[in-house]
Every structure is written in structure tokens, then in C-alpha cells.
């Protein structure tokens, strides 16, 4: 029977015969992930089980990225819990301090995730790795603790919504705009416990970093996973990250989908998700006079080198508007060093930006850019729920790196073409 990507990826990992939507399958996992917020809960559950050791010290990854560098005593204590456990359990891939970065950008560049993997993480944006042809999804900390012990978990195989993009990408359009287009169409619950499978000529031409941006926000539509075929571009990315023996993985012709969506992106304007839901999507022109107090460029959605290059194109030779705070956070140490080599950091500093370390920080309202009452921010992050980045009386707008950089210069939401 022809299979969707979700069915094929889950079938590859077990020998339970026909794998189709709705079936419960038991799967070995390729990797288990937790961070400095979620790992302490997983560790507590791990110890409550009476577990002695993790199933494989090389396949459990712990990344301290949300409240690091530690912002207060409580966050320092959280990280210490994770650090101490990593040492006791002999965790090979524990990332802290100068080795750490935003987990969903860090793991792909280190080659820890890739085509054909089944990955579970105690973080909702674990679905990012679907951009590499992996079945990856977020789970609760207790379930992740079970996977840390057993090396396996169960899934109900999700039905799939196929999303195809055709046409010619306009100059200022980004991958972020395409996923906002989808969320705006189907809503934040439109793909609940479904796999979003992306394809079409626009996706085939898209680089892997853009695909990860789109997969990252599948959860903002309620998706269980956001999936892309593993093609030649995926394999090249995986090889550059040190992975070998990867194979192309594509959905089968004739696979059965619950729903199919088709978008022609020709002539599409950059999009902005307005407060207080990612589905509240409007063309940038519709909100272009909205004055903001802060712009944040970074996160697991848009903190990669391609995002920083796009922002630098707009910011070069220009200054952030007076009174506006511009914060730029390269997603990983490698991205930071690459941006330094290319002169991007100097461009950002000349524009008046604050350049921070690789951290999730402001995205979750943690630190390094919290909003006060009445303030507005345009961010390249993935969520704009009420109070997400600070005060319950603040407002968060979401957009791609180009719109963010143009907004920083203009002082109000702005199409990059106007800069």
C-alpha cells in the first residue's frame, strides 16, 4: 500500500507490518532530547521509575538553551540538575556554556539528527527535524523519561495533510512566509495530531534551512510533525554535518492524504502574524504603520546563518530607528562564528543592535529582551500568544528576517523592499 512520509518513516523504524494512519505502533527512537526547562522534570520521572541508566548515553541529548546564560538563582539550579544528571549518566551529548546553542539549530549542524531518524524531545519544536526527513515530535517530560530508559515509545500514526507550493518565489519572500500562509489558512488547530507533508516545485528549490523553519512551526498549526522528503539537498546537508549512509526518502505515488492544500506563491507579499495567535496572518502592507518598540532576530525558527545574511542585506549601512531596541541572537556558536567571519556582526553593531549569545532567551519571555506593559515587538520567533515575550499587556508580531530588519530601520512594520 502506498505510504505518506509519516507512514514510511514510522514503518522504517519497526517490523510491525503495514503502517497506516490511525494504527498504534511501537518504535525504537534514534534520539531523545530535553532542555534546561524540561529535563529536570524528565529526570525527576526517570528517578521515580527507579531507573539506573539511560538506554544509550550517545542517544540522549541534553541542551541548556532556554535560561542560559543563567538569568537567576532558580535557572542556575535547573541547569545544575541537568548538568549533574548528565555527569552521572555519562551523557555524551550534553551542551552547556560556550558549546551550547538553540537546540533545534544545534542538533542538525552537529549531525545528531537526519534523514530517516525517529526523534522525540521534551520541547514542542522538536518537529523542526522534519525538515531533514526525520519523524520528529515533541512529547511531555514524563514520556521522554520513558524513552530515555527504554529507547522506544509508541505513536498513533498520524493522518497527513499534503501541502504543495508552486509558482515563483518573489524576491522578499521567505520560508517563514510560507508556513505563516499555511497557518493562516488552516488555523492553530487545523492540523491537530496530523502530519503536515510539504512538497511542490517551490519546496524542491528551497534550501534545507528554510525547510527546517517551516517544519519548526508545524506545531503552531497543531501538527504532530512537519515533514519534507529527504532529497539530494538533504543528503548534502547531512554529509556536511558528518552523517554518512543517508538515503533519499520520498512519499509514495498514490499515498492517501486526509486533505490536500495547494498554494501559488507568485506575487505573494511577506506575511506578519499579528497578536495574539499565529493564525492571525496579514500581508505586511496591512500592518505597515504599526510602530514597535523592539525587534528580535533569532530563535530556532530564524536564527541560522541564512537568516542573519538576509537581515544584514537590509541593515548594511543603515541604523535602527531611534528609540527602537534591536536584538540579534545567532542560534549557535557556529552560526555566531560564521557571522563574525562574514562581517555580519559588524553590520549589526553599526546598525545599533545588541548582539547576544546563542539562547532562546526572549522567545519564551525568559530573559534578554522582555517586554514591558504596553510594548510591541516584531520577532522572527514562532509564537505570539498573549504574554509570550513578557507582560500580558504587550503584543508580539511574527515575521521573517527581512521584514524584521526593515522594521528595525523604519521603526514600524515595514516591507523590506521599501528599505
The 10s digit of each residue's pLDDT in 270-316 is 999 999 999 999 999 999 999 999 999 999 999 999 999 999 999 99
Kindly write down the DSSP assignment for every residue of 32-49, as one continuous string: EEEETTTHHHHHHHHHHT
Omega cis (within 30) before 69: yes
- HSE value, Cβ hemisphere, 13 Å, CA-based, for 53: 7
159-166 and 259-264 beta bridge pairing: parallel
81 by Cβ neighbours in 10 Å (0-12 / 13-18 / 19+) ranks as: middle
pLDDT of 145 higher than 80: yes
Among 3.40.50.12780, 3.30.499.10, 3.40.50.720, 3.40.50.2000, what is the CATH number of 271-418? 3.30.499.10
Contact assessment for residue 30 and residue 121, using Cβ atoms and an 8 Å cutoff: no
Instruction: Determine how many CB atoms are found less than 10 A away from the CB of residue 105.
Output: 29
Q: Quote the CA–CA distance of 326 and 324 in Å, as a whole number.
A: 6
pLDDT of 15 higher than 90: no
Q: What is the pLDDT of residue 234?
A: 98
230-259: pLDDT as tens digits: 999 999 999 999 998 899 999 999 999 999
Domain boundaries, the chain: 25-263, 271-418
220-238: pLDDT as tens digits: 999 999 999 999 999 999 9
Helix axes 39-48, 141-150, angle to 10 degrees: 60
Q: Quote the CA–CA distance of 39 and 45 in Å, as a whole number.
A: 10
Among 3.30.499.10, 3.40.30.10, 3.20.20.140, 3.30.420.10, what is the CATH number of 25-263? 3.30.499.10
Judge if 25-263 and 271-418 fold alike in CATH terms: yes
354-371: pLDDT as tens digits: 999 999 999 999 999 999
Q: According to DSSP H, which parts of 344-383 are helical?
A: 344-350
Instruction: Determine how many CB atoms are found less than 10 A away from the CB of residue 353.
Output: 22
Q: What is the pLDDT of residue 16?
A: 65
Amino acid at each position: 500500500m502506498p505510504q505518506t512520509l509519516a507512514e514510511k518513516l514510522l514503518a522504517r523504524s519497526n517490523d510491525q507490518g503495514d503502517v497506516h494512519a490511525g494504527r498504534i505502533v511501537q518504535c525504537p527512537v534514534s534520539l531523545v532530547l530535553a532542555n534546561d526547562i524540561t529535563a529536570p522534570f524528565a529526570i525527576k520521572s526517570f528517578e521515580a521509575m527507579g531507573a539506573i541508566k539511560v538506554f544509550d548515553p550517545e542517544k540522549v541529548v541534553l541542551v541548556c538553551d532556554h535560561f542560559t546564560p543563567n538569568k537567576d538563582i532558580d535557572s542556575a539550579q535547573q541547569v545544575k540538575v541537568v548538568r549533574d544528571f548528565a555527569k552521572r549518566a555519562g551523557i555524551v551529548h550534553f551542551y552547556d556554556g560556550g558549546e551550547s546553542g538553540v537546540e533545534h539549530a544545534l542538533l542538525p549542524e552537529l549531525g545528531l539528527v537526519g534523514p530517516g531518524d525517529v526523534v522525540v524531545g521534551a520541547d514542542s519544536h522538536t518537529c523542526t527535524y522534519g525538515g531533514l526527513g526525520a519523524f520528529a515530535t515533541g512529547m511531555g517530560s514524563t514520556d521522554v523519561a520513558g524513552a530515555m530508559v527504554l529507547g522506544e515509545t509508541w505513536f498513533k500514526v498520524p493522518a497527513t495533510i499534503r501541502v504543495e507550493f508552486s509558482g515563483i518565489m518573489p524576491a522578499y519572500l521567505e520560508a517563514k512566509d510560507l508556513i505563516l500562509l499555511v497557518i493562516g489558512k488552516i488555523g492553530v488547530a487545523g492540523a491537530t495530531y496530523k502530519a503536515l507533508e510539504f512538497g511542490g516545485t517551490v519546496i524542491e528549490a528551497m534550501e534545507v534551512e528554510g525547510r527546517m523553519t517551516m517544519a519548526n512551526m508545524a506545531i503552531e498549526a497543531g501538527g504532530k510533525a512537519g515533514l519534507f522528503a529527504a532529497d539530494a539537498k538533504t543528503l548534502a546537508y547531512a554529509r556536511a554535518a558528518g552523517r554518512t549512509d543517508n538515503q533519499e526518502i520520498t512519499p509514495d505515488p498514490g499515498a492517501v492524504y486526509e486533505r490536500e492544500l495547494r498554494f501559488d506563491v507568485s506575487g505573494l507579499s511577506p506575511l506578519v502574524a499579528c497578536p495574539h495567535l499565529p493564525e492571525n496572518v496579514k500581508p505586511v502592507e496591512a500592518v505597515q504603520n504599526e510602530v514597535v518598540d523592539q525587534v528580535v532576530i533569532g530563535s530556532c525558527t530564524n536564527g541560522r546563518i541564512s537568516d542573519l545574511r538576509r537581515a544584514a542585506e537590509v541593515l548594511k549601512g543603515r541604523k535602527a530607528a531611534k528609540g527602537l531596541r534591536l536584538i540579534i541572537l545567532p542560534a549557535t556558536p557556529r552560526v555566531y562564528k560564521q557571522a563574525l567571519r562574514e562581517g555580519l556582526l559588524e553590520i549589526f553593531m553599526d546598525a545599533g543592535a545588541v548582539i547576544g549569545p546563542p539562547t532562546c532567551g526572549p522567545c519564551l519571555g525568559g530573559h534578554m529582551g522582555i517586554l514591558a506593559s504596553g510594548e510591541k515587538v516584531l520577532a522572527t520567533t514562532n509564537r505570539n500568544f498573549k504574554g509570550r515575550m513578557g507582560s500580558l499587556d504587550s503584543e508580539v508580531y511574527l515575521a521573517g528576517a527581512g521584514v524584521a530588519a526593515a522594521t528595525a530601520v523604519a521603526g514600524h512594520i515595514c516591507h523590506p523592499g521599501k528599505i
